[in-house]
């Protein structure tokens, strides 16, 4: 299926350009995560046990809704832009009218570094939403949450920036466990990387 067909299947509208440049300098412009890449990822990679999926910079809510549709697992989107947050909520309502389970999908209107990580949150998705400075802060919060409530935690990077990878490799205990090179792409950055932090 193409992008429009996936949106139609989910009864949502997530295609389109960003409203403009983000108000905060360290945040990047909105770009919807391609469905094709998500489909390819989940033919090769399995979520951890009892997943709670967090999309850092969810835009219009495509990825959390897709995750719930595919796995029937709780999914949360973090979005700082009020307009995108409102669209995400509208998309959730439209999706849930056809699929139910409204409580399993939620959106939080805040900047990523202010999101309070819950003890059950264990899968964190990043589609290059912000600068390395913000990324370090968010990863530090995830690490602190792990130390307080040890569990298997996965970090999924779509089109991972070099500085994200360097930081995870050399500045954290996260280990690369899976890498998916996207079909029909020749650029080495056109891939998904999954990092893991395992409980003892």
| Residue 97 burial by Cβ neighbours in a 10 Å radius (0-12, 13-18, 19+) | exposed
Structure-token pair, residue 186: 């020749």
Coil, strand, or helix at residue 154?
Answer: strand
The DSSP bridge partners found for residue 179 are 193
The residue whose two tokens read 């650029």 is 187
Give CA torsion, residues 60, 62, 65, 69, to 10 deg.
Answer: 160
Which residues are CB-contacts of 127 (< 8 A; sequence separation ≥ 6)?
31, 33, 57, 63, 158, 159
Token duo for residue 113: 């570094």
Q: Which residue has the higher pLDDT, 42 or 184?
A: 42
Gap between the Cα atoms of 134 and 27, Å rounded: 8
Residues of the chain above pLDDT 90, percent: 76
Query: What pLDDT, on a 0 to 100 scale, did the predictor assign at position 78?
Result: 97
Residue 9 has pLDDT above 60, yes or no: yes
**pLDDT-derived band of residue 103, with 50, 70 and 90 as boundaries?**
confident
Give percent above pLDDT 70 in the chain. 90
| Predicted local distance difference test score (pLDDT) of residue 17 | 62
Stretch 89-95: mean pLDDT: 96
Residue 1: exposure state from Cβ atoms within 10 A (0-12, 13-18, ≥19): exposed
Round to whole Å and give the CA distance between 167 and 174: 10
pLDDT in tens, 108-159: 999 999 999 999 999 999 998 888 999 999 999 999 999 999 999 999 999 9
């Amino acid at each position: 299926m193409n992008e429009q067909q996936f949106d139609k299947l989910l009864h949502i509208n997530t295609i389109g350009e960003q409203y403009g440049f983000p108000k905060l300098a360290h945040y990047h412009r909105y770009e919807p995560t391609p469905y094709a890449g998500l489909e390819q990822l989940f033919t090769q990679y399995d979520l951890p046990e009892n997943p709670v999926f967090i999309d850092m910079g969810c835009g219009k809510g495509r990825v959390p809704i897709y995750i719930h549709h595919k796995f029937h697992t709780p999914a949360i989107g973090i979005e700082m832009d009020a307009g995108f947050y409102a669209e995400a909520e509208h998309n959730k309502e439209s999706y849930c009218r056809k699929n139910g389970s409204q409580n399993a999908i939620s959106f939080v209107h805040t900047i990523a570094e202010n999101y309070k990580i819950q003890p059950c949150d264990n899968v964190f998705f990043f589609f290059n939403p912000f600068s390395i400075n913000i990324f370090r802060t968010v990863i530090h919060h995830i690490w602190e949450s792990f130390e307080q409530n040890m569990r298997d935690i996965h970090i999924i990077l779509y089109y991972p920036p070099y500085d994200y990878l360097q930081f995870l490799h050399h500045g954290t205990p996260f280990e690369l466990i899976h890498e998916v090179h996207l079909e029909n792409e020749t650029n080495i950055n056109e891939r998904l990387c999954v990092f893991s932090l395992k409980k003892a």
